[in-house]
Amino acid sequence: MKYYIYILYSQSRDRYYIGYTHHPQERLEEHNLGATASTRPGRPWVLVYTEEHGNKGGATRREREIKKMKSRKYIESLISSKTGDAEPPGPHAEA
């Protein structure tokens, strides 16, 4: 079964959230419904990045790798490389 790394962005808090799941869209809806205490204050969240992995082990390793970087710049470079946008979402980007 496929797993996905996902990155969410909250404009209200100007923060990113990184996780993994089978279904990124469904997980986004759960976050926006307040099902996760840690993301509740940042609602609404926007799905800005996904990365497919063939198994849970690969997905959790990649999630830890991204989180371990502790770098907003690194996260934004991932988003930009996937979307082709010069700038990732945020207060500096035009709506």
Q: The domain spanning residue 53 has which CATH number? A: 3.40.1440.10
Within a domain: 88:
no
Within a domain: 91:
no
pLDDT at position 65: 97
Within a domain: 57:
yes
Within a domain: 18:
yes
Domains: count for the chain: 1
pLDDT at position 20: 98
Q: What is the pTM of this model?
A: 0.87
Give the whole-angstrom CA distance, residue 88 versus residue 37: 25
Contacts of 7 (CB under 8 A, 6+ apart): 16, 17, 18, 47, 48, 49, 50, 66, 75, 78, 79
Task: Give the structural domain span for 37.
Answer: 3-83
pLDDT at position 94: 43
Within a domain: 90:
no
Q: Which residues of the chain are modeled with pLDDT < 70?
A: 84-95
Within a domain: 69:
yes
